[in-house]
A and B are shown apart, each in its own frame.
Chain A
Amino acid sequence: MDFSPTDEQQALAEAVRGTLRRHGSPAAERGESGAPSGHDDALWQSLVQAGVPALVWAEEDGGIGAGFTDVSAAATELGRARLQVPLAETIVAGSLIASLASDAVRRELLGGLSEGTALPIPALAEPLRAWSPQPTDVVASGSGDAWTLTGTKAPVPYGPDATHLVVTAATDGGTGVFLVTAPEAANAEVVLDGTSATLLAQGEAADSAISEALALGGVVLCAEAVGAMDEALRLTTDYLDTRTQFGRKLASFQTLTHRAADMYAQLEIARSATLYAAMVADERPVDADHVLRARLVVDRAARLVGQEAIQMHGGIGVTAEHPVSHLTARLTAITRTWGDRRSQQAELATRLADHRSVEVLG
């Protein structure tokens, strides 16, 4: 067992850092709000140049054939630079396509994704429904090559920018996974009304592919969160070390420095769980429960780090122009994407009695 990054991973992280540094972080610089920044195609294309969206896909499908430890290293840099791109989204959609689509569709979409010409995005959540990977509101009807979908998926981040949507829908045969080509969405609401779709899988095959895809996307989210927490803690310690009140540096107040130490402790535990989850994601079958546990560890750390980073910055921390507010907004979104603390706890609880203890050394 070894957690140290390879030379290739360090080089990749450095290359991504360089790309992101050249781009800056326009949303924070504009100072409008911490809202999701939307798709920035120029940034995405620069990451395509660096090979990031292609990393995990097989070479025969047009990808690079690297692994999740690699894409995680890139995602951590995205989090640190507080730049939002649909990387985790393409991992989820791409994973469903990789495991369920025909050879031709798989090569076309994963190849296109790797080249920056296709942007497949998952449409999973349903409005006013607690998170579940099982669709209820969007219903599929049809058979063979002729299927239509009806119902609303929302929110679907990057929905308006997608070239393809991978949509879950209820069918008579259980959960179905469908591909919608050239979707039309004006915003994060995807309204399907007899929309033509291609069936990729249904029933058990669909369920297990969804579970794996969400685990893989979850790993990328965890890695992004670690980068965002790294940066939030760095900004906070810098601030404590420079800001003066009552004629003293904030760093002279133990009530603040001890809380910064707790942020560090939670962050390091989240980093360990995330690195481990990335290694888990490079094995098949993926142990999705280990990823769920990592997501819970990251959730706890992200809440503490985000909340305390703002609190210790004082008023400036809740302004739209300060980076720490953007980091905390992103951490809040990450920990509600494709599952949240409640759903993760509930899912793991169903299997709690199946093991005596959680073993990681094996």
Chain B
Amino acid sequence: MQRRLSADESAFQQRMRDYFTQEFPAHLREKVTSGRKLTPEDIRLSQSTLAAAGLATPGWPTEWGGQDWTPLQKHIWNSELQSAGVPPPLPFNASMVGPVIATFGSEELKQRFLPRTATAEIWWCQGFSEPGAGSDLAALRTTAVREGDEYVVNGQKTWTTLGQHADWMFALVRTDPDAPKKQAGISFILLDMKSEGITVRPIRTIDGDTEVNEVFFDNVRVPADQLVGEENRGWDYAKFLLGNERVGVANTGLIKRWLAELKEHAQQVRLGDGSLLDDPAIAARFVDLESQLMGLELTVVRVSGGSENGRPNPASSILKLCGSQLQQEVLELAVDISGPMALIWDELESVPGWAARSVPTYLNYRKATIYGGSSEVQRGIVAATILGLKG
């Protein structure tokens, strides 16, 4: 057991901190920390800058721009990036489709896509969920029928995050409707969003934003060489994708920055002769959240560092569950700290943006316990695979 970072790990941490806080474009960080909305160009610029520094896709194989880092180094990278307010690499690119192509794709697919995926020259979106296939993802009904050198795709995807900006989609489609198990008839394909027959319809969310979309496919013709891996093995690749990236799934760096900023905000709100941070009930909530966050971050380090008896630590299954809950608790506290200022959603001369944004942000982040495998799905996984509880 060893509490401290080694000299090498400390030097690595300092190197990350120096790059993110001194070399990375300050105007992008400033936008993030002041809570303003990033444009698609901002997001692409951030990722291409990170890629040039070798810091966009550290989890990838080294031959495709990844880094030969330990899990702890990846956590430090992620932590420093988030705490500096650097816009993180697009998850669809960096932690979803990239590793799948790198692991299961043909050499041709790798060369065609990976370099431009790393830099976000290609912006990917995820085509998994459907109106009838949410937590029960394998119930998906979008079909791809092979005709010569092409697949013909028909159906609908939904909750496609930032799909309105995407150049390409990676999608799960049903290629064998007669497979004995519904998981066995699914394939993983790549679609050009400019293809004929694709319609993207934005969905307005509770905060007034358009972050997610419906995507319709009407006889979309997809070259067969855009199949990843083998036909009807898509479910395996999807499971790999969902379980691949444990580092970052708890979002501890982001939560830490939110909590630090919120503490400053609480000090700006007057209460009697002091500030809201002096209030024992509010202070106790901060203390609890800081303590829980400490426990979660230590858990990230403990389970990502390893391998107990050579196997991945099963406790890694709780990171999404607990991280998403903690995100929501911090944002709930933000609304409570805004108090009466939470009644408006527009910044005023006298009401700061953080207070005006507290409610839409709180409402928007109810998504955190729903996407990427809802809390109920996570609990089911823990109960079945770790606790061995099967009905």
Contact = CB atoms under 8 A, between A and B. Distances in A.
A257 B381 CA distance: 10
A362 B390 CA distance: 42
Given A3-B305, A356-B260, A357-B290, A362 B387 contact: no
A1 B2 contact: yes
A290 B287 CA distance: 11
Interface stretch (B141-149, B278-286, B361-369): B278-286
Interface string B271-306: 000000100100110111011111111110111011
A216 interface: no
Contacts of B380: 254, 257-258, 261
Nearest to B282: A349
A3 B302 contact: yes
A316 interface: no
Interface residues of B, number: 59
A268 B318 contact: yes
B3 A358 contact: no
Interface string B4-37: 1100011001000000000000000000000000
B201 interface: no
Contacts of A258: 376, 379-380, 383
Choose among A9, A254, A276 the residue with the greatest number of B CB atoms under 10 Å from its CB.
A276
B263 interface: yes
B391 to A, nearest CB: 3
Contacts of B292: 269, 297, 300
A89 B62 CA distance: 53
Given A265-B382, A352-B283, A297 B295 contact: yes
A279 B280 contact: no
A361 B13 contact: yes
A153 B83 CA distance: 47
B299 A268 contact: yes
B43 interface: no
A361 B302 CA distance: 12
Contact of A362 (B4, B260, B284, B297): B4
A251 B298 contact: no
B5 A361 contact: yes
A310 interface: no
Given A265-B321, A265-B322, A353-B267, A6 B1 contact: yes
Interface in A240-257: 240-241, 248-249, 251-254, 257
B179 interface: no
Q: Say what secondary structure dominates the interface of chain A.
A: helix
Contacts of A278: 1
Contact of B389 (A240, A283, A293): A240
B338 to A, nearest CB: 19
B303 to A, nearest CB: 8
Interface string A262-294: 101100111011011011101100000010011
A280 B1 CA distance: 11
A69 interface: yes
B221 interface: no
Contact of A346 (B4, B280, B321): B280
B348 interface: no
B256 interface: yes
Interface in A1-38: 1-6, 9
A195 interface: no
A357 B260 contact: yes
B52 interface: no
A352 B3 CA distance: 23
Contacts of A362: 4-5, 10
B5 A1 contact: yes
Nearest to A276: B298
A296 to B, nearest CB: 4
Contacts of A240: 389
A7 to B, nearest CB: 12
B238 interface: no
Contacts of A4: 1, 305-306, 308
A360 interface: yes
Contacts of B291: 273, 293-294, 296-297, 348, 358
A297 to B, nearest CB: 4
B315 interface: yes
Interface in A312-362: 344-346, 348-349, 352-353, 356-358, 360-362
Choose among A265, A278, A294 the residue with the greatest number of B CB atoms under 10 Å from its CB.
A265
Nearest to A349: B283
B161 interface: no
Closest 10 pairs (CB-CB, A-B): A252-B391, A279-B3, A349-B283, A257-B383, A261-B382, A261-B379, A272-B298, A293-B291, A269-B295, A2-B2
Given A249-B391, A273-B298, 19 more contacts: A1-B9, A251-B390, A257-B380, A258-B379, A261-B380, A264-B382, A264-B386, A265-B322, A279-B1, A282-B3, A293-B290, A294-B291, A297-B292, A297-B295, A345-B284, A352-B277, A352-B283, A356-B263, A361-B5
13 contacts: A241-B388, A257-B389, A257-B391, A272-B296, A275-B302, A293-B290, A293-B291, A294-B295, A296-B288, A345-B283, A357-B256, A361-B301, A362-B5
